[in-house]
Structure 1
Amino acid sequence: MDTGTNPWIRCFHPKPRAAHTLVCFPHAGGSASYYHGLSAALDPDVEMLVIQYPGRENRLFEKPVDAVGALADAVADALTARLGEDRRPVLFGHSMGAVVAFETGRRLERTGVAAPRHLVVSACSAPSDGPGSVRLVDEQPDADVLARIMGLGGTAHGVGEDAELLTLVLPAIRADLAALESYRAADGAAVHCPVTVLVADGDPEVRPERAGLWGRHAASGEPEVHVFEGDHFYLRERPGRFLDLLQETARTSHAESSHG
């Protein structure tokens, strides 16, 4: 595994000769290792870089970040340093990771370095469709905060049974939820690369009929929308259609050079 020198990026299966780069952003309460299996399933021509937020796994004792903009600032800096001007990735974000990926993409486009060729967002409402500025999580007891995350299925149930582990991970979970609750983009905020939206027909958080609202934030035209069977974490089992779609989209990056 390539851990590199920047804690924001992990690469579980380094492929120095891969032609295409896929950057994945975890969900609220999630960590980079959630994508380990998906990384292993990718073809040799697609290398995955995974964003690791502070406050979990190898960054467990770092202070979590509770604002989407601050996360995006740091990730954009890390990707700029890692990829340089010659490599343009495809960004994929699931749930909270989708808005962090969106804001990261906007920042990369402004600098022109490592600007994304495509943004794929999954199980997430459009950036202007959020509540904004209401941080309910600050007033909620630990049990309720944990229940919100575990109820969606993205956090191992064993966490709730280990009091010591729970104490360690709760600050990161609270920070993630606070970041989501306080985030709302302006209607005019947009990326200029193509956008693809993935939703599940049984997701209680994001309804398929609202997926098209991402069009407000896609300057290149209306996004493609793909509906999968399942709940908020439909990608848990890595359905073949999902994997194929992600890889084919990654191959649109047409990187001209590889990084080592």
Structure 2
Amino acid sequence: MGIDTRSSWLRRYGTKVPPRLRLLCLPHAGGSAGLFHSWGGAFGQDVEVLVVRYPGRQERIAEEPLTDLDELADAISAELLPYLDVPLAVFGHSMGATLGHEIAIRLQARHQVVPELLMVSCRKAPHLLTPRSTALGSDEELLAEVARLGGTDSALLDDPDLRELVLPSIRADFTAVARYAARRGVPLACPVVGYVGDSDPDISVAEVMGWADIAPKGFFLRVLSGGHFYLVEQRDALIRDIRARLEPQR
């Protein structure tokens, strides 16, 4: 397995054999592709992992971060076009779940490509979203919210120099989430799986089950132990579950 970084938007974990399927992974608000580094090669030798690299962090730290989820979805959808020669599955965590949904809509409507599966983690369905104003507050309020949810290395937030580097991308992402108003969900032509931690401070099981309203091809729910970042502590259990869902149908 190698890492292909030719695309500024996608970190590609190549396979030794031609891929049967690709899995697109979308990080949370304030997150980076590093969250999914250990997922490369975790789903079998014929499943290629693509992880989205948002502008304004890591290798793209010098770029201006985007503050609109529709713009992000447009850019990522366009970047995916060369990789649609094999089936695509999508996994998005928190903000990434909303992006995954918007990307699936675009691929379906503009390119007649239907993902094999959309997996949404710790995020309300589009029609259940409620306004969030954290992005409009002070730096201290924003950082307190990030710390409350977890998932960001505390060393980044505690070190003034590092905090100055990461704060613009965190604020941009939270602004994008705040601007994404509730909307009528577009029914998807693929099955949807919802994941949530049983002690998530913000997202309830019932709210994740709302995705069933826009999943006429089937909705499945998996609740794992943990909070908003259950996928870190429950990595192995989550990967086993996803891997089973990506296995060829017999």
TM-score scaled by structure 1? 0.88
State the partner residue of 1:59: 60
Q: Which segment drifts farther, 50-59 or 188-197? A: 188-197
Matches within 5 A, 1:175-214: 175-214=172-211
- Conserved 8 A contact 1:187-1:216: no
State the partner residue of 2:24: 23
Q: Secondary structure at the match of 1:11?
A: strand
Equivalents in 1 of 2:249, 2:118: separation in Å?
A: 11
TM-score scaled by structure 2? 0.92
Equivalents in 2 of 1:48, 1:15: separation in Å?
A: 12
Equivalents in 2 of 1:253, 1:100: separation in Å?
A: 27
Equivalents in 1 of 2:193, 2:236: separation in Å?
A: 17
Q: Secondary structure at the match of 2:19?
A: coil
Return closer, same or farther for 1:112/1:249 CA change in 2, 3 Å cut-off: farther
Percent of aligned pairs sharing the same letter: 35
Deviation at 1:167, TM superposition (A): 1.1
Equivalents in 2 of 1:102, 1:236: separation in Å?
A: 22
Deviation at 1:208, TM superposition (A): 0.8
- Conserved 8 A contact 2:115-2:190: yes
Matches within 5 A, 1:206-245: 206-221=203-218, 223-245=219-241
State the partner residue of 2:86: 87
Matches within 5 A, 1:91-102: 91-102=90-101
Q: Does 1:174 align with 2:175?
A: no
Equivalents in 2 of 1:9, 1:188: separation in Å?
A: 26
Return closer, same or farther for 1:129/1:208 CA change in 2, 3 Å cut-off: same
Q: Which has the higher contact order (CA 8 A, sep 6+)?
A: 1
Deviation at 1:135, TM superposition (A): 4.6
- Conserved 8 A contact 1:87-1:114: no
Unaligned runs of 5+ in 2: none
Unaligned runs of 5+ in 1: 255-260
Equivalents in 2 of 1:60, 1:173: separation in Å?
A: 12
Q: Secondary structure at the match of 2:162?
A: helix
Equivalents in 1 of 2:121, 2:207: separation in Å?
A: 12
- Conserved 8 A contact 2:56-2:65: yes
Q: In the TM superposition, what whole-angstrom CA distance separates every residue of 1:208-236 from its partner, at most 9, and x where no partner exists?
A: 12222112222424x11111111111110
Equivalents in 2 of 1:192, 1:65: separation in Å?
A: 28
Deviation at 1:2, TM superposition (A): 3.1
Equivalents in 1 of 2:188, 2:172: separation in Å?
A: 25
Q: Which segment drifts farther, 165-174 or 33-42? A: 33-42
Return closer, same or farther for 1:144/1:135 CA change in 2, 3 Å cut-off: closer
Q: In the TM superposition, what whole-angstrom CA distance separates every residue of 1:23-64 from its partner, at most 9, and x where no partner exists?
A: 100001100011012225332222211001111000111111
Equivalents in 1 of 2:176, 2:249: separation in Å?
A: 29
Q: In the TM superposition, what whole-angstrom CA distance separates every residue of 1:109-164 from its partner, at most 9, and x where no partner exists?
A: 112365311100011111111125x65412x1111111211221110000112212
Instruction: State the superposition RMSD in angstroms.
Output: 2.0
Q: Secondary structure at the match of 2:119?
A: strand
Paired residue total: 249
